[in-house]
Amino acid sequence: MITAAADGSALGNPGPAGWAWYVDDSCWAAGGWKHATNNQGELKAVLELFRATAHLDEELLVQCDSQYVINSVTKWMPGWKRKGWRKADGKPVMNVELLQEIDEAIAGRRYRFEWVKGHIGHPLNEAADTRARAVAEAYQRGREVPAGPGWSSDCEDGTPAPVQAARETASFDPGAPVDLGAPDFVVAEPELDDALFSLDEEPEAWHSVRLELSTEEIDRLRVRAQAVGLSPEEFLRGLI
């Protein structure tokens, strides 16, 4: 079985955006756009992972911190397709082109998704997040986009060591510390309504979100915000 993480990042959401999938330091890819949403980055990462592994027979385990993506692919797409890619309220499905491409890419594939909580030190998730964010920052600052080596014969030589991957990720971006003592992660199967993920439909609207953070979480937020030249508030808004 192939285990890979897929993640997206958008500065400002929408704004400069990136996507990335990651197996190990010799096997990852990334890309992005000058202007897109975080959800689009998350979906694109999954799409490109399926495309990169299309020639393989192994089952694909996709580790993802986006419940929107997992539910879209595993729960909601069949109903959307029956309704002509429209939601229960009759409105068009958001990001429909990416979803249709994913629908084509997963046909006949053996795969499953595992939800992991983001930004708490999960090695593969942190590695994918770091690379997706690096692409978003490259577009923001007009720099060369780090595209990664992609899938090659090196990807099939063996199973990556998660701890080593975590150490290499930490050196890739000092602003994203990795907790090697993170607890185990389990698959979550939340029952969520896709209406919860309709924020992208009205980008001009404002929505209120209340978060409670520990002192340690606030300190980490400040470090990551400083690493990309943003205030903690701007960085947190982009994450949301």
pLDDT tens-place string over residues 128-176? 999 999 999 999 999 999 999 999 877 865 444 333 333 333 333 333 3
Task: Considering the candidates 48, 126, 129, 137, report the single residue annotated as catalytic.
Answer: 129
**131: domain CATH number?**
3.30.420.10
Active site residue 90: no
Higher pLDDT, 121 or 240: 121
Please indicate whether residue 173 is annotated as part of the active site.
no
> Is position 214 within any domain?
no
Q: How far is CA 75 from the centre of its chain?
A: 18
Residue 133 Ramachandran class (φ > 0 left, ψ -120 to 50 alpha, else beta): alpha
Known active-site residue 65 = yes
* Pair 25, 44: CB distance under 8 Å: no
Q: What are the angstrom distances between the C-alpha of 3 and each of 57, 125, 160, 204?
A: 13, 11, 9, 38
Q: Within 142-214, where are the H helices?
A: 162-172
Q: Is 50 helix (H, G, I), strand (E, B) or coil?
A: helix
234 inside domain: no
Report yes or no on 237 lying in a domain: no
Q: What pLDDT score was predicted for residue 213? A: 75
pLDDT band with cut points at 50, 70 and 90 for residue 218: confident
Q: Give the chain's domain count.
A: 1
Catalytic residue among 25, 65, 137, 194: 65
The sign of the CA dihedral 216, 176, 51, 40 is: positive
Tokens, residue 121:
């030190």
Q: Are 9 and 125 in contact (CB under 8 A)?
A: no
217 is catalytic: no
Q: What is the pTM of this model?
A: 0.67
Model confidence pLDDT, tens digit, residues 57-105: 999 999 999 999 999 999 999 999 999 999 999 999 999 999 999 999 9
Domain range for residue 53?
Answer: 2-207
Spatial neighbors of 134 by CB under 8 A, at least 6 apart, are 18, 30, 146, 172, 173
pLDDT, the chain, mean: 80
User: For residue 162, what pLDDT is reported?
Assistant: 39
> What residues are paired with 5 via a beta bridge?
22, 63
Residue 189 is a catalytic residue:
no
Residue type at 3? T
Residue 223 confidence (pLDDT): 65
Condensed to tens digits (0 to 9), the pLDDT of residues 47-60 reads: 999 999 999 999 99
Structure confidence at residue 180 as a pLDDT band (50, 70, 90):
very low
Question: Sign of dihedral through CA atoms 232, 131, 56, 39?
Answer: positive
pLDDT band at 184 (very low <50, low <70, confident <90, very high): very low
In a domain, 238, yes or no: no
Which pLDDT belongs to residue 196?
43
Identify whether 232 is part of a domain: no
- Give me the catalytic one of 101, 119, 175, 200: 119
| Residue 79 resides in a domain | yes
| Short-list 59, 1, 54, 52, CA closest to 31 | 52
Of the residues 42, 48, 126, 137, only one is catalytic, namely 42
Q: Is residue 105 assigned to a domain?
A: yes
Task: Please check whether residue 238 is in contact with residue 10, taking contact to mean a CB–CB distance below 8 angstroms.
Answer: yes
What integer pLDDT is reported at residue 188 of this predicted model?
35
Would you call 181 a catalytic residue per the annotation? no
Q: For residue 233, what pLDDT is reported?
A: 75
Q: Which of 7, 25, 137, 194 is catalytic?
A: 7
Tokens 């399926």 belong to residue: 50
Could you tell me if residue 172 is inside a domain? yes
